[in-house]
Structure 1
Amino acid sequence: MKKADTSNQIMPIVLLNALPASGKSETRAFLRSLPAEKSRAEFKIGFPTIQLDDYPYVEMTKMIDHALMAQGQKRTFYYGEYYSYIDPTIWGALIELLNEDYFDLQQKKIVDVKSPGQWIMDRLTKVCVANKMEDPFAKYSKAVLNKVAKAMDEHCRKFIQEKNDYVKMYTPEHTIVIEFARGGGCGPERYPDFFPLPKPYGYNYSLPKFHPEILSKCAMLYIKVTPEQSFEKNLSRAPPIGWTGSTDIFHCVPELVMRQEYGCDDFEWMLKQSDKPNTLKIVRDGQTFYMPVGVLDNTVDLTTGFREDEKTWKQEDKDKMYEALKVTFEGLLSSYNAQHK
């Protein structure tokens, strides 16, 4: 049976991927600035988008370690303040959290809990164990964990409120944007013969962790910069001194983590492995999915001008960004429609 024509429908799920500081948040900010009708007509994106992102969970694992150390306990997630995860398998566990968030949207599930901090910790335990990791909290007493949960409550309550707001807003007329970055270590020995990246690094490991329902519906917008540009941009987006606002754009990945986790990524390698053009071939549990992709080339910087308040944006920058996105989405939508007809 021929699949329904999707050419006039919005894309239900778009994965937004790139090396850190490549311009993902700035691209979202620019797209938000466009009239919703224009985004729907030209880009097939239903605005306002519903945002899912694994960065808040990364931030919360850091906060848990801080709360443990405040009690004289050892960290459970990180080697140190500016170091990588002790067990990098958590990159897969974070995808499982995004799966849960996706189905909460579909099922209109509102979170209402007494201890938001404990709720996050319970979810982390569940996904870590499911990914064959050790329970990150098994070695601590109940008294210690109660204090950690209490220290997390205020931050997690705000997270839950935002999550619930998205659940209330969501309808099939909205595009769900799922944002995350995956990569591997740097060094000349990794180019070009280091691929595939060893598990649990890279998109080749993390993408098959998505639920089949997501894989069957999604497309990917990939923002391309070089690893060297990612390093430079990462430093430039560090929070200004005294900054107390959102960490959506202003957050800086520690240098050692950049080198160990994001010195390269395997997106282009995966693109070359697919037997269908402009797609990534994803195999999960014996089932094959072809994910349509579009690449926004940001190696000649298009996005930095959108880091500040919209009132400061230059018309020249907006025009260049719009034209680049138009070309990118023409290719993406062509691939998307080919896969879904």
Structure 2
Amino acid sequence: MSTFSETEERQELRKQVAKLASKYGRDYFAGKARSGEKTTELWLELGRAGYLGINVPEEYGGGGGGIGDIAAVCEELAAQGCPMLLMVVSPAICGTVIAKYGSEEQKQKWLPGICDGTGTMAFAITEPDAGTNTHNITTTARRDGDGWVLKGRKIWISGVDEASNVLVVARAEDAKTGKVKPVLFVVPTDAPGFEFNAIPMEIVSPEKQFQVFIDDVRLPADALVGDENGGLAQLFAGLNPERIMASSFNTGIARFALDRAVAYAKEREVFQGPIGGHQAIAHPLAQSHIEIEMARLMTQKAAALYDEGDEFAAGEAANMAKYASAEAACDAADRAVQTHGGFGASQEYGVAGLLVATRVGRIAPVSREMILNFVSMHSLGLPKSY
């Protein structure tokens, strides 16, 4: 087996996920989005097949695989026109953090539902006034008897309306030093004082974005995930997987856009032959194929490093993969629209909506500028610029 080939098991996983997702496809996904419905059937079928929790330990209902496996599932879904954003959030971020830092009781309580899709979990870190600067979040957690009380606001929180719980990042005051520290809590979405409003979006997706209001939400002691003095290590445990998953999400959408463009370029005839025979069409599509494959390779490298436990190298590779995949996806979507000509703006061919979806990839979950800051400082040794 070549070093640059995935294992036969991973290749078979991709094949089976693609087969399952193709039963649904882009028409199903876009139809659900435009009618205001959810892709619950697809989500639950993925859970029954064991794909949602493939990265979660087997004793909690998972497949015992690594981040590379769940990333492969995410990519193949998107490549079939079904980019499932909650794949990034529920199993990869929340599942990883709970499996790594949760108590035995917490793992037994929450991981099985994440794996079978019946207990999907959202993740809330971003705030209106903090943006990319996670150190400035102001959602507070204070002790109240044996439990905790949370208060604050979050924004751009995906899929809260489909989640049973939300893993919330808050700040608590250290009793010894008086300094604030990041802490993680699992908050039920039906908890008194927990409210959320959908943010109107231009993206064609059944998965919505929300602003969340946390108004004196009372939680029991066992809602705290990990050590309350664990600090940033616990928080960042979910962020490298998030970048790797975002990269797979992007490359999957890029593959879908390119496949649509290539199919159209083969069948559309203008000027005595298929338009794909003209270099003005063929070369941009060939460029996208190259860019997508490079981004996929960096994503696979990041996943392999993460699964090997090399945190710094994984972080560097995950950031670069996320950057490269977003650029590849934006270019692929733009070229797909251009290849279709006027039809590129129609709903019939399903590529125009990808322009907005891929463009968001340059912003979330971390902006291209912050990635360039990271690479400048940590990879090149330049002075910190922010």
**Given the two structures, how large is their TM-score scaled by the length of structure 2?**
0.24
Larger relative contact order, structure 1 or 2 (CA cutoff 8 Å, min sep 6): 1
Larger radius of gyration: 2
Higher helix proportion (structure 1 or 2)? 2
**Given the two structures, how large is their TM-score scaled by the length of structure 1?**
0.26
